[in-house]
Amino acid sequence: MEAYEYQLNLKNLFPSALWGHPDQEIVYKKNRYTLESFYERISKLAGALSDLGVKKGDVVAVLDWDTDRYMMSYFAIPMMGAILHTVNVRYPPDLVFYTMQHAGDKYAIINKEFVPIIEKYAKTFDFIKGWIVHADNGEKVETSLPRSYSFEDIVAKSGGYDFPDIDENATATLFYTSGTTGLPKGVTFTHRQLFLQATSNALVGNKAPFHLNEDDVYMSLVPMFHVHSWTMPYFIVITGNKYVLPGRYDPKNILELIKNEHVTYSFMVPAILYMLLTYSEVDKYREYLKGWKVSVGGSALPEGLAKLAESFGITAIGGYGLSETCPVLTTAVFNSRVKAMRNEDERRYYRISTGIPIPFVNLRVVDSNWKDVPRDGTSVGEIVVRAPWLTKRYYKDPQKTEELWKGGWLHTGDLAVVDHLGYIHIVDREKDAIKSGGEFIPSLLLENLISNLPQVGEVAVVGKPDPKWGERPVAFIVPKVKLNKEKVLDFLNNQVEAGLIQKWWIPDDVIFLESMPRTSTNKIDKKELRKMI
Neighbour tally for 318: CB within 10 Å? 25
In this chain, the answer to whether the domains covering 10-188 and 434-532 adopt an identical fold is no
CA distance 314 to 116: 40
pLDDT band at 399 (very low <50, low <70, confident <90, very high): very high
CA distance 171 to 45: 19
Query: Phi then psi for 164, rounded to 5 degrees?
Result: -75, 165
Identify the CA nearest to 273 among candidates 351, 212, 221: 221
∠ CA 463-468-473, rounded to 5°: 20
Residue 430: predicted pLDDT: 84
> What is the rounded average pLDDT of the residues 97-126?
97
Dump pLDDT digits (tens) for 503-524. Answer: 999 999 999 999 999 999 999 9
User: Which residue type sits at 167?
Assistant: D
> What is the rounded average pLDDT of the residues 421-443?
90
pLDDT band at 179 (very low <50, low <70, confident <90, very high): low
**Segment holding 428, helix H or strand E:** strand 424-429
- Please name the residues in contact with 66: beta carbons below 8 A apart, sequence gap of 6 or more: 220, 223, 224, 229, 245, 246, 247, 248, 249
CA distances from 71 to 168, 362, 439 (A): 20, 30, 47
pLDDT band at 180 (very low <50, low <70, confident <90, very high): low
CA distances from 136 to 110, 151, 173, 225, 326 (A): 12, 11, 25, 18, 29
Give the length of the chain. 533
Phi-psi group of 250: left, alpha or beta (phi > 0 → left; psi -120 to 50 → alpha; rest → beta): beta
Residue 127: is its pLDDT beyond 80? yes
Class of domain 434-532: alpha beta
Phi-psi group of 495: left, alpha or beta (phi > 0 → left; psi -120 to 50 → alpha; rest → beta): alpha
Residue 146: is its pLDDT beyond 90? yes
Residue 429: is its pLDDT beyond 90? no
DSSP per-residue codes, 200-268 = HHHHHTTSTTT---TT-EE---S-TTSGGGGGHHHHHHHH--EEEE-BS--HHHHHHHHHHHT--EEEE
- Whether 63 and 149 have beta carbons less than 8 Å apart is answered as no
The topology (CATH level 3) of 10-188 is: Rossmann fold (3.40.50)
CA distance 90 to 390: 25
Residue 182: predicted pLDDT: 73
DSSP per-residue codes, 70-99 = HHHHHHHHHHTT-EEEE--TTS-HHHHHHH
Domain spans, the chain: 10-188, 250-361, 434-532
Neighbour tally for 272: CB within 10 Å? 21
Residue 157: predicted pLDDT: 98
Which CATH number applies to 250-361? 3.40.50.980
- Please name the residues in contact with 368: beta carbons below 8 A apart, sequence gap of 6 or more: none
CA distance 366 to 264: 37
Three-state DSSP at 379 gives coil
CA distance 75 to 172: 9
Q: Sheet containing 381-386: give its strands across.
A: 362-366, 381-386, 410-418, 424-429
Query: Phi then psi for 477, rounded to 5 degrees?
Result: -130, 135
Dump pLDDT digits (tens) for 460-506. Answer: 999 999 998 999 999 999 999 999 999 999 999 999 999 989 999 99
Residue 295: is its pLDDT beyond 70? yes
Residue 379: is its pLDDT beyond 90? yes
CA distance 25 to 13: 16
> What is the rounded average pLDDT of the residues 257-269?
98
